[in-house]
């Protein structure tokens, strides 16, 4: 639809429509984009690149939960210990957060899900929500070698002020240990310690990875993208091509 000019819409639409007031024409872009893959596969990085290009929001359950913990909210108190241990929090907690978030006006044109769904129960809830909203869904599965993941996550540093991610080897800050943007001392996320990383990978293997079959059974468009060796920009270019496929 993108290549169609505005004129094409003028001809196709009913005469009563005020074209200056009408919402932008729909494109064939997927409106529900699920970024799927183990922790450290680059879902957060790719989401941020996609937000810029597609103009739809990133919905990261990990970020939402961390925010609840930081602000000392009731949900945060409930989930904090599990998150520190690298264990998945209860389905009903994340399902409710996502349901509320999807109802926000900025998600009306579409959204990028990062870190959700992670269990069969979450996937079923999501499919119900998407069906109700009539969403076109695409799942991008980021495939990354586990040794690469462990190296990435153990080297990961984050700015406690702006959330910018760095990596000691692949994306170091200009001054070691200091955020380029905020000048704040970088920290290691509690769950980026090696024993917790292993726990998170185990949770992925046992509870999340099987969803690949679930998505296939449900007839969702699912693409595997090799994200082990290439730069984030190169991975992003591959994703862009896939999601623009009619």
Among 41, 45, 61, 125, binds ligand AMP (CB under 6 A): 61
Smallest distance from the beta carbon of 46 to ligand AMP, in angstroms?
A: 13
Nearer to ligand AMP, 29 or 141 (CB): 141
Burial class of residue 57 (count of CB atoms within 10 Å of its CB; 0-12, 13-18, 19+):
middle
Give, in order, the Cα–Cα distances in Å from 218 to each of 83, 86, 139, 213, 221: 30, 29, 12, 9, 9
User: What whole-number distance in Å separates Cα of residue 221 and Cα of residue 138?
Assistant: 5
Q: Does 89 bind ligand AMP (CB under 6 A)?
A: yes
User: Strands 137-143 and 221-226, how do they pair?
Assistant: parallel
C-beta closer to ligand AMP: residue 95 or 222: 95
Name the active-site residue from 48, 66, 118, 135: 118
Q: Which stretch binds ligand AMP (CB under 6 A): 85-93, 128-136, 140-148, 227-235?
A: 85-93
- Window 65 to 84, contacts with ligand AMP (CB under 6 A): 65, 82-83
Q: Which residue blocks in 22-114 are alpha helix, DSSP H?
A: 43-54, 61-70, 74-85, 91-102
Of the two residues 29 and 157, which places its CB atom closer to ligand AMP in the complex? 157
Give the active site residues.
43, 118, 156, 189, 200
């Amino acid at each position: 639809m993108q290549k169609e000019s505005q004129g094409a819409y003028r001809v196709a639409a009913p005469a009563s429509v005020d074209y200056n007031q009408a919402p932008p024409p729909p494109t064939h872009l997927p409106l529900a984009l699920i970024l799927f893959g183990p922790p450290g596969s680059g879902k957060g990085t790719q989401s941020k690149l996609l937000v810029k290009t597609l103009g739809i929001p990133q919905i990261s359950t990990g970020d939402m939960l961390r925010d609840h913990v930081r602000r000392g909210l009731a949900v945060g108190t409930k989930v904090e210990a599990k998150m520190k241990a690298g264990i998945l929090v209860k389905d009903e907690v994340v399902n409710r957060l996502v349901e509320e978030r999807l109802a926000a006006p900025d998600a009306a044109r579409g959204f990028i899900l990062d870190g959700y769904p992670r269990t069969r129960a979450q996937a079923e809830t999501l499919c119900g929500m998407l069906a109700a909203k009539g969403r076109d869904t695409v799942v991008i599965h980021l495939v990354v070698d586990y040794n690469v993941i462990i190296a990435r996550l153990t080297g990961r540093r984050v700015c406690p002020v702006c959330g910018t991610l760095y990596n000691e080897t692949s994306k170091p800050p200009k001054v070691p240990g200091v955020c380029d943007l905020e000048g704040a001392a970088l920290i290691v996320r509690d769950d980026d310690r090696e024993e917790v990383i292993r726990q998170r990978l185990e949770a992925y293997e046992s509870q999340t990875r099987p969803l690949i079959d679930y998505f296939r059974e449900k007839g969702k468009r699912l693409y595997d993208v090799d994200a082990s060796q290439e730069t984030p920009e190169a991975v992003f270019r591959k994703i862009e091509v896939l999601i623009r496929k009619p």
